[in-house]
Amino acid sequence: MTKHRNNKEHAILEAARQEFLEKGYDGARTTSIARNAGVTHAMLHYYFKTKEDLFCSIFVDFIAQIGKNLTSLFEDSQKPFVELIENAMSMHFDFISENPKVPLFIIREIWSRPERIEMLRQSISSTVGGLLASAQQAMDVAKNNGEINSDIDAITLFIDILALNVFPSLFLPIYNTALSQDGEKPFLEKRKQENLKLILNRLTPQSK
């Protein structure tokens, strides 16, 4: 019974994920979600009482995925901090590249419904708070060892990484229609390497 419930709930969440990404909250229809999930409309509302409940589950899950596994990277004190950042940036960039509609979805919903800011704040506090604390601790050790510059903190670093990694997915439609020369994959790979270079240059102490 539990396995059956989990399978049905998973199918609903997957269908809802695609529906919300494609159409946003206002355009999404629970009837369409139920049909694509292979369940009745009544069954969908058995698992998720309202459209808002379903949306909140999807929204919070997107935030959690962005921070998934990154905290454990910064708990590995055996690796140099710069290597941890390279791994974290690569993981984050790959997730965004594989899910290019997620950043736009989050931005669109926040702008169209400012009341979602509180949901975003709570999601970030629960999923990213520990990540920032682990990163700051690792940065402090690296600063003391002279591995990285001392004039940057974890929040600033993560804002820089987020801005660099998210932009290519937002810019991709323009690139594909107006500027494309080499194709999507080479473009994304080049941006990934450029982003890494920019951040690593920012972190690395410059010789005087």
**pLDDT, tens digit (0-9, with 9 covering 90-100), for 66-118:** 766 676 677 666 788 898 899 888 988 998 888 888 888 888 888 888 887 88
* Per-residue model confidence (pLDDT) at position 181: 62
How many residues does this entry show for the chain?
Answer: 208
Mean pLDDT of the chain: 84
Sign of CA dihedral 46, 49, 50, 56: negative
SS (H, E, C) 100-139: CHHHHHHHHHHHHCCCHHHHHHHHHHHHCHHHHHHHHHHH
Residue 1 pLDDT exceeds 60 = no
User: pLDDT above 70 covers what percent of the chain?
Assistant: 87
Let me know: does 123 contact 66? Beta carbons within 8 Å: no
Centre a 10 Å sphere on the Cβ of residue 55 and count the other Cβ atoms it contains.
Answer: 21
Q: Is 115 exposed, middle or buried (0-12, 13-18, 19+ CB in 10 A)?
A: exposed
Q: Which residues contact 44 (CB under 8 A, 6 or more apart)?
A: 12, 30, 33, 34, 37, 54
Residue 151 pLDDT exceeds 60 = yes
Q: What is the pTM of this model?
A: 0.78
Residue 37 pLDDT exceeds 90 = yes
Residue 160 pLDDT exceeds 90 = yes
